[in-house]
Structure 1
Amino acid sequence: MRQLVSLIVLGLCCMLLSASVHAQRMASYYSQYDLLSSPPSAVGEGLSGFANPALPALQPNTLQLQWSTDGRDHGDVSDIGVFSSVGGLSGAVSRVERGGFRSTGYHVGLAGGTKRFATGIAYQGFAGDKRAFGRVNRLTTGAIARPSRYLSVGLTYNIGLETDDREWVGEVGVRPLGTSRLTVFGDMAVFQGDALRDAPWSVGGAIQVVPGVEAVGRYFESEAFSLGLRVNLDRAGVQSQARFNPSQAYASSAYGIRLGGAQPSAISEAVQRGGKHVVLELGGTLSYQQSQVQAWTQDGVGRFYEALRTIERAGASERVQTLALNLSGLRIQPALAWELRQALQEAQAAGTTVLVYIDYAGMNTYHIASVADHVIMDPVGRLTLDGYASSQTFLAGTLDKIGIAVDDWRLFSHKSALEALDRTDFSDAEREQRQAYIDAFYETVRTDVMASRGLDNATFDSIVNDQTLLWATDAESAGLIDGTGRWSDLDDLLDTHVGGSTSALSVDALNELHAASDAWSAPPTIALVYGIGGTSIDSGMKAKELAETIRSTADRDDVKAIVFRVDSPGGDPLAADLVAEALREASEDMPVIISQGQVAGSGGYWVSMYGDEIFAAPTTLTGSIGVVAGWIYDDGFSERAGFDYDVVQRGERADLTTGYNVPLLGVELPARDMTKAERDRTEAQIEALYDEFVSGVAEGRSLDVDSVRTVAEGRVWTGTAAQERGLVDTMGGLPAAIEAARTAAELDRDWVQVQEVNAISGFFGFETLIPAPIRALVSDRDRAPETYDPVRDFVRTMATHQPHPLVILPPGWAPAPRP
């Protein structure tokens, strides 16, 4: 409705600029744009903005050649033009020639807007015998509103610059089925000052025989009519129309050739069915977000969702026979590896053959590769199947030697975050839960590999425990791979292992074909929002900014559901609550589905708890409902280091958070321990925050408080264990969460789009220009993974926030990306 109101306002504004008297009539809309087989916004490319300058904002980049012939002499070209649109800019050169007169026209225009409403303006100039054809220089403004996939309304205002002529053109298109299978249209052109009843008009329709093939008919008030056929072949298309005069006698023909953006084409689908293979390079670490510069300069797939989306689209395309993945250099976490493996299985279920290449592979990489129909290993590659381990560096002895004391206020049995600072080994509770998740990692991989490669438990365990390091010949003998070869010989590998003759389809081309659409308007949106990193106000997850992003996303009319992807070990409870509250508010208006990545523990679970449904991988680490706090202070460090310290204060406890600056850590160390009264008060605050956390989980998960307490106390659960205890609803990755959002929002599978809201994080990403050792002093895992020290980062976090309690996982719990 707002788009239609804007359209009316635009028309009224143009009317105020117009004159009511004209001295000489310029060529009308129907004679000026007689190459059209329909109103410009109803069917096809509409001369790329030549007739309505708003159109380029609604269509892909296009180049068209159009021409017409007189009578039955198809070599006698009377009108010809080249029309193009690129990124909202439109340009055209046209020529008309009849009876010895010739005129050339030029067009340049600019359009902008959305798929629901666009406006444009253009200048058209003419030379030669232009008066013979009524061609006068003109300014053209236009607007097109497509409030739904059923309706398109266009308005054009032509202003003669050499005469006083003003012409209004209105057009409307209706698709009763909401698709291009049937389109009916009509238009009318009226000069200012003319009676509406005398205005010429046309009506017609288009029937889609199959996607990409349309029959078009148009009837004019003069009783003339035209019949045409349009055929699209992906990025190219042809069209023709036969035109009949008011006496219904054949008068002329018009033809067109289109190049540019892909359009749906059943013919191309049929011809290329099973004739393509898609290559997916997945080296390095797959991030969730990237800088704008990285997005512009990226070659191939660099983000996790892009990889999932490419696999899904390859599986859905009838053209794609084989999906070939290069996992050389891939470093990935167990939960994300499981998600990629699930996506590959879905592609296989749709009939796509999967071939995977590995060279140096470990447990996570091989977990992905094992699902393939054909696993190929470099002849000099190495497979390391060593199982999983979780270790911890303990600093109690070091801190004691240098005179830094740590007081661990451990009020909850499994909230073990400070163990790294005040112990020399794992507590029983910590050892128990670490062993549980290591077992889950191992058993998930073992179960999947056994199913895909036909192994039994004993064989797999023997490979891990007795062989561990396998060269290509060893791996092939063990039944872990199907052959050897080099990635540079991919074509030969495909011929040998898959068979059939296929040509490569790039990821960009695959995405373009997937996006090819002749639909009107824009489909409803499922917004994918990322909450990545520690729950901090202005760093990590950037909670203040993220909460506002969630609210503004929920306020959008086109957004019908939110999928929130969280991968976070927690941190500041205030930051976590800001995000959780924003998600709860959003859930009052639309479905909010939570997708947990590798880690969604403590504060990472806090931000998850109000989701309508929580998805996790079997190897996700989640839960850790508890609070941690302690006191790290100077207990001889300053004396040994030769530091002196003095303070002036007003307030009995003002000195509590002042002290010595510790080199390298970049934190201030309190100069004294807490008094008993100060500690008692802080512990009461910890208990209160814990009760708030437990109550929030109970409310968000529809559980009673006592049942939450039995799974809380800081316990970390794998995704499978969390599901058994009601903390997680469904085992599934990001695609499954998106599908759940679509179902919950009751959206048509064929009429919905997924939009990543905050996939771009920053513009440059300057951190990548800083040497890694220097980055390590100031950066977190996302920015300096090669030198990231979780214990040092944890000490810095605790010291910076004390005495305030935190909702955070112990250091090192999140498994680092590895092969």
Structure 2
Amino acid sequence: MPHRLCGAALCCLLAFGAVKAQSPFISYAERAEFALAAFGGLDMGLYGYANPALLSYVEGLEQGVAWSDSNSTQSWGLFTAMPRLGFGMINGRRDREYRAGLSSGDRNFSLGVGMGWGSVRHVVLGGIWRPGPRLSVGGTFTSTLADANREGAVDLSLRPWGDERLTLYADYARTDETEFWSTGAVVGLGQGLALTGRFLSDRALSVGLRIGLGVADFQAQARNRTFQTYAARFGAQRGNLFRPRARYLSVELSGPVQHRRYAFFDDSQSLLELIALLERAHRDPAIKGLAINASGLRISPALGWELREKLRQIRAGGQRVVVYIDRVDISGYHWVSAADHLVLDPAGAIGLQGYVAGHTYFKDALDKLGIGFDEWRLFPYKSATEVYVRRNMSEGERDQLTTLLDDWYALARSDISVARSLAPEHFDRLVEDTALFLPQEALDAGLVDRLGRWNEIDRTVENHAVVAANSYTRPADQRWGQRKRIAIVYALGVCAMDTGMGARRLVGEIASACADADAVVLRVDSPGGDVLPSALVADAVLQCRERKPVIVSQGYLAASGGYMISLPGDAIVTAPNTITGSIGVIAGWAYNIGLKEKLGLSTSRVQVGRHADLPFGMTLPLLGLRLPDRTLTEDESARMEHTIRSLYEDFVARVASSRHIAPDSVEVVAQGRVWSGQRAVQLGLADQIGGLEAAIALAKEKIGLSADETVELLERPRPKLFSSALFRPRLLGLAAQPTPELDYLQFRLQHNGLPLLLVPANHVPSPVGLYGEKTYE
């Protein structure tokens, strides 16, 4: 909301008449006795009790208690809050009062409403405006429901340096019969310690002290020797006066790590949450190191590389990394090799067999079934349909897969050799001569540092305390104002209109993210697919780029249509083992050559138009997919070839324009060929090597922030609450598991005869799948 409107809305809260009699609810002055400063100047104003708009600043469950030892009476209060919702009670001098409040807005401008009851029912309207880290303006209007008893209040706070070192404030409250004002300062003396001074309208002087202990605070203040008040808070992590003893953070990675996860009933971890957790530990001086349980971890090679880079960064900062493994292959060992100390289970194993890629070919099977398949393969490396028309691998496919695996092996060889202090030639011998290492063999070869179980990890962490990740609370953000926003938009799965990445919805998500955020990071993990959704998403990204910076982060797979939607970004950040490129178009046509007759089915038709019968055919039982009765005529085939060449020329033109490469030079790296991320950077198809964190850092740079500055991350689309698979029927307790090959065949038949921007099924990793991660069901 524009600042001018925000200020006007806040002033409206105060533009009311005052009471005609003594306030029947607990007054602002009495509430202020429990606070060290003006309600908008320090913390969250009794957790929304005084100003419900401040509930927008609550980040987790918070609880507080306060009491006064006045000579004549004893007052106390209890308060609790969670994001945007709060409840509290005050036992005052005359009455006991309860209030519930809620808020709406952001950290820049928020409005709140509260309902109170006690001796009389009343309503509280509040607002808080913090246009930046230096200024806070708050206001409340309180009125009874039965009569005209009202109270207005406003507070103004300034932080000259934009942080908690010094806060100056003043507040004012008024009814017809009473006035209250105060002014003062809060001086931060480092982590967890603050001194306050306050001069009040009755010429009293209040002096206070707050001591922070991390998840708890304790405070006391004295007012002119008249009375003292005390308070305690329990909740989010804040400053700690006492440096906590060094400890290790325990991270359980037993399960899938992917881009998204359901809110409930999901044992997976999202990459973004995991990287944020590790970064928080990296910045925490109390964290001596990490203890990671990688048993049963399922992660794609590119995401594993991103995790490896984060561990390498943590080690470079002086923290120790301990990883426990039981069974890993070369991809798994590649990322865990970044650890200082590797612990292998005594019954585990390490497989360094290398890398392999290949296909299952269906030509003879389709012939026996009575299914014909024609392909229009105009480019030697565009191999998406060769499994249906060949019995073995084509030369183009063999060439590009060999180069891809060579790049993967070179990356693993280099990283592992450096991490484990091995000569590269020695690593080659380990792969060629042994391949599978039993525990003692792995220890003798220098691949691990110790044999042991996860429950014995205490021996490895030097007897330091260990804190579990789910108990490691995130520090509260005590900065005023709304931080810059970066939206992370996920384009996962096949390029299709309503399945996979869901282009129909994704286009709207990109536009919404572009409007809400200061910069956008497009995370692509897609094998490509249909031309139409690919072009729609690419154009949506281009439109966003005209308004905001857009950085593309490529995951494991960003090929063909996945590469097309990457092109409009300001920069393409790719992992070295990403599969990308595949600039090309291909089409295939499946049709009946006997299956219909074998199944005892027949078809009959009428038509208007010479080509109208082309898609007509039988509907496959159970699958619900149509298999046409005939293939294309020579004229139709020529038209198909013309369409493919036209779409290819458009694709090449997009690459040339976006990457600033001459079209003839694009042809050299196109022809449908896939490339590793490492080669893509060398060839000019991508800009730099990095993961999602590097893309976010680049987006920060584009909006004028340093890489270590905190921003608010918006994830789009929002994942669902839980999986629909929870309600699917199962046979003998077992649920059918989708495979890339079956998903691929289904997609091919659904898009029969359409030119596609697609790579073969074997390029699609099972953790993501052709139709995206499970959060996109």
Could you list the per-position Cα deviations for residues 209-249 of structure 1 after superposition, in whole angstroms to 9, with x for gaps in the alignment? 113322222223443222222222111101122223xxxxx
> Mapping of 1:43-82 within 5 angstroms?
43-60=42-59, 61-70=61-70, 78-82=74-78
> Mapping of 1:548-627 within 5 angstroms?
548-556=508-516, 559-627=517-585
CA distance in 1, matches of 2:91, 2:620: 78
The partner residue of 1:795 within 745, 754, 757 is 745
Q: Which moved more, 1:406-415 or 1:629-638?
A: 629-638
* Number of corresponding residues: 766
Q: Which amino acid aligns with 1:44?
A: D
Is residue 523 from structure 1 mapped to residue 483 from structure 2 by the alignment? yes
CA distance in 2, matches of 1:809, 1:52: 57
Instruction: Tell me the secondary structure at the aligned position of residue 264 of structure 2.
Output: helix
CA distance in 2, matches of 1:159, 1:25: 9
Q: Give how far 1:735 is off.
A: 1.0
Match for residue 737 of structure 1? Answer: 695
The partner residue of 1:706 within 656, 659, 664 is 664
> Relative to structure 1, is the Cα distance of residues 789 and 46 closer, same or farther in structure 2, using a 3 angstrom cutoff?
closer
CA distance in 2, matches of 1:28, 1:492: 59
CA distance in 2, matches of 1:137, 1:4: 33
Match for residue 153 of structure 1? Answer: 137
Q: Give how far 1:10 is off.
A: 6.5
Q: Which amino acid aligns with 1:357?
A: Y
> Relative to structure 1, is the Cα distance of residues 693 and 775 closer, same or farther in structure 2, using a 3 angstrom cutoff?
farther
Match for residue 229 of structure 1? Answer: 209
Match for residue 133 of structure 1? Answer: none
Match for residue 221 of structure 2? Answer: 241
Q: Which moved more, 1:213-222 or 1:725-734?
A: 213-222
> Mapping of 1:621-640 within 5 angstroms?
621-640=579-598
CA distance in 1, matches of 2:360, 2:19: 88
Q: Which moved more, 1:49-58 or 1:521-530?
A: 49-58
Q: Give how far 1:59 is off.
A: 2.3
Q: Which amino acid aligns with 1:223?
A: R
> Relative to structure 1, is the Cα distance of residues 754 and 93 closer, same or farther in structure 2, using a 3 angstrom cutoff?
closer
The partner residue of 2:499 within 534, 539, 542 is 539
Could you list the per-position Cα deviations for residues 68-102 of structure 1 after superposition, in whole angstroms to 9, with x for gaps in the alignment? 2347xxxx8633222222343333333345xxxx6
Match for residue 407 of structure 1? Answer: 374
The partner residue of 2:251 within 280, 287, 294 is 280
Is residue 422 from structure 1 mapped to residue 389 from structure 2 by the alignment? yes
Q: Which amino acid aligns with 2:131?
A: P
Match for residue 264 of structure 2? Answer: 296
> Mapping of 1:164-563 within 5 angstroms?
164-192=148-176, 199-244=179-224, 250-265=225-240, 267-268=241-242, 270-272=243-245, 275-291=246-262, 295-298=263-266, 302-494=269-461, 499=462, 501-510=463-472, 512-513=473-474, 515-556=475-516, 559-563=517-521
Instruction: Tell me the secondary structure at the aligned position of residue 657 of structure 1.
Output: coil
CA distance in 2, matches of 1:386, 1:575: 39
Instruction: Tell me the secondary structure at the aligned position of residue 656 of structure 1.
Output: coil
Match for residue 37 of structure 1? Answer: 36
Q: Give how far 1:148 is off.
A: 2.2
Match for residue 131 of structure 1? Answer: none
Match for residue 773 of structure 2? Answer: none
Instruction: Tell me the secondary structure at the aligned position of residue 210 of structure 1.
Output: coil
> Relative to structure 1, is the Cα distance of residues 439 and 663 closer, same or farther in structure 2, using a 3 angstrom cutoff?
farther
Q: Give how far 1:163 is off.
A: 5.9
CA distance in 2, matches of 1:774, 1:789: 24
Q: Give how far 1:162 is off.
A: 6.8
Q: Which moved more, 1:799-808 or 1:158-167?
A: 158-167
CA distance in 2, matches of 1:763, 1:63: 27
Instruction: Tell me the secondary structure at the aligned position of residue 398 of structure 1.
Output: helix
Q: Which amino acid aligns with 1:543?
A: A
Does structure 1 conserve the Cα–Cα contact (< 8 Å) formed by 2:86 and 2:101? Answer: yes
Could you list the per-position Cα deviations for residues 87-133 of structure 1 after superposition, in whole angstroms to 9, with x for gaps in the alignment? 43333333345xxxx64333333334332233333344446xxxxxx
CA distance in 1, matches of 2:560, 2:285: 44
Could you list the per-position Cα deviations for residues 628-665 of structure 1 after superposition, in whole angstroms to 9, with x for gaps in the alignment? 01222222333344332211111111100111223465
Match for residue 122 of structure 1? Answer: 114
Match for residue 761 of structure 2? Answer: 811
Match for residue 652 of structure 2? Answer: 694
Match for residue 669 of structure 1? Answer: 627
CA distance in 2, matches of 1:35, 1:767: 51
Q: Which moved more, 1:363-372 or 1:534-543?
A: 363-372
CA distance in 1, matches of 2:732, 2:762: 21
Instruction: Tell me the secondary structure at the aligned position of residue 284 of structure 1.
Output: coil
Instruction: Tell me the secondary structure at the aligned position of residue 154 of structure 1.
Output: strand
Q: Give how far 1:401 is off.
A: 2.6
Q: Which amino acid aligns with 2:247?
A: K
> Relative to structure 1, is the Cα distance of residues 161 and 415 closer, same or farther in structure 2, using a 3 angstrom cutoff?
closer
Q: Which amino acid aligns with 1:104?
A: R
Does structure 2 conserve the Cα–Cα contact (< 8 Å) formed by 1:25 and 1:163? Answer: no
Q: Give how far 1:775 is off.
A: 13
CA RMSD of aligned residues (A): 2.6
The partner residue of 2:105 within 97, 109, 113 is 113
> Relative to structure 1, is the Cα distance of residues 640 and 10 closer, same or farther in structure 2, using a 3 angstrom cutoff?
same
CA distance in 2, matches of 1:678, 1:25: 86
Is residue 642 from structure 1 mapped to residue 593 from structure 2 by the alignment? no
Gaps of 5+ in 2: 769-777
Match for residue 247 of structure 1? Answer: none
Instruction: Tell me the secondary structure at the aligned position of residue 747 of structure 1.
Output: coil
Does structure 2 conserve the Cα–Cα contact (< 8 Å) formed by 1:526 and 1:752? Answer: no
Could you list the per-position Cα deviations for residues 541-592 of structure 1 after superposition, in whole angstroms to 9, with x for gaps in the alignment? 0011111001011011xx1111111111000111111111111111112211
TM-score (norm 2): 0.93
CA distance in 2, matches of 1:461, 1:673: 50
Instruction: Tell me the secondary structure at the aligned position of residue 406 of structure 2.
Output: helix
Q: Which amino acid aligns with 1:84?
A: T
CA distance in 2, matches of 1:382, 1:290: 30
> Relative to structure 1, is the Cα distance of residues 526 and 13 closer, same or farther in structure 2, using a 3 angstrom cutoff?
closer
CA distance in 2, matches of 1:25, 1:643: 86
> Relative to structure 1, is the Cα distance of residues 753 and 78 closer, same or farther in structure 2, using a 3 angstrom cutoff?
same
The partner residue of 1:84 within 77, 80, 83 is 80
Does structure 2 conserve the Cα–Cα contact (< 8 Å) formed by 1:593 and 1:614? Answer: yes
> Mapping of 1:775-786 within 5 angstroms?
786=737
Does structure 1 conserve the Cα–Cα contact (< 8 Å) formed by 2:63 and 2:81? Answer: yes
Q: Which amino acid aligns with 1:800?
A: Q
Does structure 1 conserve the Cα–Cα contact (< 8 Å) formed by 2:58 and 2:83? Answer: no
Could you list the per-position Cα deviations for residues 444-503 of structure 1 after superposition, in whole angstroms to 9, with x for gaps in the alignment? 111111111122233222222222221101111111111111112222332xxxx2x322
Q: Give how far 1:754 is off.
A: 4.3
> Relative to structure 1, is the Cα distance of residues 418 and 817 closer, same or farther in structure 2, using a 3 angstrom cutoff?
same
Q: Which moved more, 1:43-52 or 1:382-391?
A: 43-52
Q: Which amino acid aligns with 2:654?
A: G
The partner residue of 2:20 within 19, 22, 25 is 22
> Relative to structure 1, is the Cα distance of residues 39 and 653 closer, same or farther in structure 2, using a 3 angstrom cutoff?
same
Q: Which moved more, 1:610-619 or 1:222-231?
A: 222-231
Gaps of 5+ in 1: 128-135, 245-249, 777-782
> Relative to structure 1, is the Cα distance of residues 706 and 80 closer, same or farther in structure 2, using a 3 angstrom cutoff?
same
Could you list the per-position Cα deviations for residues 350-397 of structure 1 after superposition, in whole angstroms to 9, with x for gaps in the alignment? 111011111111111111221211110111112222111011111112
> Mapping of 1:96-107 within 5 angstroms?
96=92, 103-107=95-99
CA distance in 1, matches of 2:252, 2:172: 53
Match for residue 130 of structure 1? Answer: none
Instruction: Tell me the secondary structure at the aligned position of residue 577 of structure 2.
Output: coil
